[in-house]
Chains A and B, each alone.
Chain A
């Protein structure tokens, strides 16, 4: 994984709560054995109308939002399925961070493994961000802080381990493999379960 230290962008705001994994990438696009190129399916049924034309009302289709890499969303973003296709699609679509008052557990785990920073902030802060999409937001992984243009800073929760993984591009599988001796010891000494 490539290291992520700092993300600076204005935001795309979508105040909808409970944006589930079927909205992020509908299940019919999971018929693939690849993980690349899924960005074209991100939010597919919101980006496109039933006849396949672009839906100009959807936030991501509005011209001022092109190129923005931070999504500010309503509460409980990413609820639903365990499909890692969800963060794969969002990253391929150009997102680098999602800010919400709450982010679903499995989605959050999957996002962290794919260079998509999940940022949970108090609802009052998220509400303020939702009202100000044009603010240039700075997310700093090293200090675990969101910095607003007026200088205010808010700390967001980030596990120490996840922080190191993001900053140094640590690969979790490599980390696990480096602990093979402990795994072997466990297998040889465990009580049957």
Chain B
């Protein structure tokens, strides 16, 4: 025996996911039982939480760590302003009841709730990051599949069911089997007019809506590193649309710079200490993934979907493919498209800009850049819905609300709105909607609604043209401030037809 330092066993290289998994293991998994995984941050909203609180109340259980749960109101809430008497224009009593129930549950259980009048309110996956509640190295869950968004910060974040919401409320833990890992490495430069939304639609088009099932995806490579945080969130947001358990991106200086300005992120010495930990998170060189894929960003073009799931993505000037099975045929028929035909020039009824996918300030800036000084095609109804109260304030400070209104669009209060169409914001039967959201399932935006998923730029270009239009046809000009003063140009969109 000697007094020398104990030998440190050489640890095999680990992925980002491995590191987060190991750091949150309360009980390791065995063949007989899953792991207990600790949850750092639990986000809740009014639709998927009431039954969980009821279950706890029935069993006489309390919250283990109320301070680790944060609530917001987003799915059922109207995006129209309050009435003159201050009343909230709920679409129906059931929506109001959900909101009231979350208020009661939060108050009774000591959970912080960002209520309708809170300056921090918004879509759950928009406010977590912007407040800095979302941090690298955390486990984050929510009764909402788009929780994968938070993985953009190097967090392990995924959607859970309502029973599991109850598990987390009562024990701060989940029973989990470790997922497999899929590395998607994106190299090359995104062309001008091509966004993170086009990239993730391209990826889902490549791997399919079940291509990620059973996996946690780590998005890597120079193209991902070059994306700002908001673009990274768009990419991770839609990991679930490929069926993945979660999407993740290793934290880097872009992440740290973003967090340094967030109100709930650590400050001062605490930030420096956190930074030291966060820098250890990226996958080690040589870390093994269960599966690896390469994506060439240079191949990505503005994308649209032609069918009724996000895997039906294609380039905007592509042709609807020949159906491979009855479901694809049904999708093409539902969309009223034809195999072998293009979609450019298809008349558009509704354009929706918003959601946890594309409701952030950079998305609204992109839309404003295209709308500035122009008018919507008269056929088009356009809703622009900020992802949060903070996004709304920032957009208004930049005059984006005025640009939208001057163009003929509707500027709304924050919420999920037409993405899930629970709050009265609906696409009517048969209408074609171009939507910056994440799902084009049959009826998703209203019974009989036909949805094409697009980027903010494609949404805006199509709103101007009155039909599916390529955003690259709009020159990159008109800074926002200058646009405010500019005369509206009517009929300029005809050039695209």
Contacts and interface: CB of A to CB of B under 8 A. Distances in A.
Interface of A: 15-18, 20, 22-23, 26-28, 30-35, 45, 50, 74-76, 79-85, 102, 104-106, 109-110, 113-114, 159-161, 172-173, 175-177, 179-180, 182-183, 186-187, 190-193
Given A22-B439, A33-B97, A159-B177, A172 B163 contact: yes
A33 B98 contact: yes
A183 B68 CA distance: 15
B330 interface: yes
Contacts of B47: 30-31, 83
Contact of A31 (B95, B145, B162): B95
Nearest to A111: B161
B140 to A, nearest CB: 11
B295 interface: no
Interface in B55-86: 55, 59, 61, 64, 75-76
A153 B145 CA distance: 35
A106 B327 contact: no
A109 B164 contact: yes
15 contacts: A18-B209, A22-B442, A27-B420, A32-B94, A50-B429, A84-B162, A113-B161, A113-B163, A161-B33, A172-B163, A179-B26, A187-B38, A192-B273, A192-B277, A193-B40
Interface stretch (B166-174, B184-192, B284-292, B355-363): B166-174
Given A80-B439, A81-B144, A160-B32, 11 more contacts: A22-B439, A23-B443, A31-B47, A81-B439, A82-B145, A84-B162, A84-B163, A173-B166, A179-B27, A183-B26, A190-B23
Contacts of A45: 442-443, 447
B48 A176 contact: no
Most chain A CB within 10 A, of B36, B92, B95, B274, is at B36
A172 B59 CA distance: 13
Contacts of B23: 190-191, 193
Please give me the 8 A-B residue pairs with the lowest Cβ-Cβ distance, nearest first: A82-B159, A33-B50, A84-B161, A31-B94, A110-B161, A84-B162, A22-B441, A82-B145
Most chain A CB within 10 A, of B31, B33, B145, is at B145
A28 B91 CA distance: 11
Contacts of A175: 175
Contacts of A179: 26-27, 36, 171, 173
Interface string B247-283: 0000000000000000000000000011001000000
B160 interface: yes
Contacts of B55: 173
A120 B367 CA distance: 44
A112 B163 CA distance: 11
A173 B209 contact: no
A76 B211 CA distance: 10
B409 interface: no
Interface in B212-259: 213-214, 243, 245
A186 to B, nearest CB: 4
Nearest to A176: B171
A177 B63 CA distance: 12
A13 B59 CA distance: 39
Most chain A CB within 10 A, of B55, B95, B243, is at B243
Contacts of B161: 82-84, 106, 109-110, 113
B168 to A, nearest CB: 9
